[in-house]
Structure 1
Amino acid sequence: MQQPAQGRPPHYPTSLGTSDASTITLLGHDLAGELMGKVGFGELALWLVTRRRPEPGEVRVFEAVLVALADHGFTPTAITARLTYLSAPDSVQGALAAGLLGGGSRFLGVTEDCGRFLHEVVSAPGVRLPGDGDGDDAGWDELALETVRASRAQRRLIPGLGHPVHKVQDPRTPVLLEIAEENGLKGPHLRLFEAVGRVHPQVLGRTLPLNGAGVCGAALADLGLPVDLLRGFALLARAAGLLGHLAEEQRSPLAMDVYLSVDRNARYVPAQPD
């Protein structure tokens, strides 16, 4: 807040949105006259965070990430939203919020965790990144091998590696990599993550797929988005999916069946000492 002059009200500066009696200004543009019907929601979301109008290729990668993260069926976040709506059908916002609150280290949060993990490596002081052209896989593989070995020594899991359902390949992964490549946006985070996928069997002794949530985190980091906000983009995508679940719950309710299935099959067992 800027300190007000004597007798004047305080000022609260923002570069986002303001309004008066007749106009709404967003990002320095007239909302009604310059943005509505002319700017897509994905483009606007990216613009709001970066405070610059994104290039078409950036929008394509960003929206591909949103689509990749929107919904995956009856995940805990979707079940939570449906059960909350069953309990409080007068509170759509509560059901939506309940589902979003479940976005953590196991579901949705991997996007941020992977982006942060990769960013720590590529931005480390003194690190020399390989080139970005064809034929530079060896350099990225060497950096990835160092990274995986260090993580193993620290007993640290590599976020984005492995998937509970897709044991061989996450179908989102090659598509996201291809879209980033096509738009010249496969940067150091994606290249390092690709290399992790190639070299980790040498250290771990087994082959795990690069999961889509992790690739999304790498792609968002390559767009230059703050790693501390990456989970927010995953939640932005999942909000659409949760809204779809609530709409389906209205049309074809099943939350009561889920509740009754658990409740009617609960069995008391004596507590065991720790």
Structure 2
Amino acid sequence: MPHPSINADSIAPYSTSLGTSSATEIRLLGHDLADELMGKVSFGELAFWLVALRRPQPGELRLFEAVLVALADHGFTPTALAARLTYLSAPESIQGAMAAGLLGGGSRFLGVTEDTGRFLSTALASREGLPISETEWDDFALSLVRTERAAGRIVPGLGHPNHKGGDPRTPIIFDIAAHEGITGPHLALFAALGRVSERGLGKKLPLNGAGVCGAALADLGFPPDILRGFALLARSAGLLGQISEEMRAPIANRIYMEVDRNAQYVSPPSDGT
């Protein structure tokens, strides 16, 4: 309700294509939330729709939800530990624990999804026309790998600290996209990067799951700037699970005590003065 001193008729409208509400209904994406969406639209479909402002096709939704599942939880990662330790410190603030975990989404964890999507999108935009054959895709990918190596940069999405022989999530994403007929240029280029990594780097590196998720999201039409948001959306479910487990079977205090009780003072290195 407007402030009594403000003339409601003089206020310019704030446009939105998302949600509005009145005394009698809530509308979301142009639909009645209670009657048309609740119980009829999955959370994954709604998340896609809220960002893309269009409903996904069934194949798109299957790929999108597979990406969310792939990114949800990877065990005791730094983001999970941050959430658990924050909950230990402030158990009255579950939002603080969730936020602590999400704030750790960066270049080593979760951010690879965005970094890979951006790298692929930039590379494709730099080229006139798409490669036609697998050989052309490989030649294009090899030139990118060699350019990045010469500049001392890594190719995002290549390599994994644990899955040296291949990330188990990667072929699933490729298979779903192929089965649904929605493999696009980002996934095609990412696959080519995997095929040429040994020629370009001198050792074969696997395509990691975070990277293939970025390629898939880019093929679904999402711009690079929003891709990390989907990784964080997926990880929110994982963090909630981690916090719930911390409530049932806590480990955070043990981690804290082990580090604290084994802390050993050392003199700082001499600065030569």
Runs of 4+ in 1 over 3 A off after TM superposition: none
- In structure 2, what is the Cα distance between the partners aligned to 1:233 and 1:200? 27
Determine the structure 2 residue equivalent to 1:39.
41
Determine the structure 1 residue equivalent to 2:76.
74
Determine the structure 2 residue equivalent to 1:12.
14
TM-fit CA distance, 1:258: 0.6
The structure-2 alpha-carbon separation of the partners of 1:16 and 1:201, relative to structure 1 and needing over 3 Å to count, comes to same
Determine the structure 1 residue equivalent to 2:252.
255
Secondary structure of residue in 1 paired with 2:10: coil
Identity %: 66
Secondary structure of residue in 1 paired with 2:195: helix
TM-fit CA distance, 1:7: 5.4
Determine the structure 2 residue equivalent to 1:273.
270
TM-fit CA distance, 1:72: 0.3
- For 1:221-232, list aligned pairs within 5 A: 221-232=218-229
The structure-2 alpha-carbon separation of the partners of 1:6 and 1:30, relative to structure 1 and needing over 3 Å to count, comes to closer
TM-fit CA distance, 1:10: 2.2
- For 1:64-143, list aligned pairs within 5 A: 64-124=66-126, 126-131=127-132, 136-143=133-140
The structure-2 alpha-carbon separation of the partners of 1:164 and 1:6, relative to structure 1 and needing over 3 Å to count, comes to closer
Q: 1:202 aligns with which of 193, 199, 204?
A: 199
Whichever residue aligns with residue 27 of structure 1, its letter is: L
Secondary structure of residue in 2 paired with 1:113: helix
- In structure 2, what is the Cα distance between the partners aligned to 1:73 and 1:59? 26
TM-fit CA distance, 1:230: 0.3
Structure 1 alignment gaps of length 5 or more = none
- In structure 2, what is the Cα distance between the partners aligned to 1:195 and 1:9? 54
Please say if 1:51 is aligned against 2:53. yes
Determine the structure 2 residue equivalent to 1:170.
167
- In structure 2, what is the Cα distance between the partners aligned to 1:204 and 1:52? 41
- In structure 1, what is the Cα distance between the partners aligned to 2:182 and 2:161? 28
Secondary structure of residue in 2 paired with 1:25: strand
Paired residues, number? 265
- In structure 2, what is the Cα distance between the partners aligned to 1:76 and 1:190? 28
- In structure 2, what is the Cα distance between the partners aligned to 1:97 and 1:18? 26
- In structure 1, what is the Cα distance between the partners aligned to 2:200 and 2:31? 52
TM-fit CA distance, 1:6: 10
- In structure 1, what is the Cα distance between the partners aligned to 2:52 and 2:8? 35
Whichever residue aligns with residue 178 of structure 1, its letter is: D
Provide Cα deviations, 1:24-51, integer angstroms capped at 9, x if missing partner: 0000000000000000000000000010
TM-fit CA distance, 1:169: 0.3
Secondary structure of residue in 2 paired with 1:18: strand
Whichever residue aligns with residue 130 of structure 2, its letter is: L
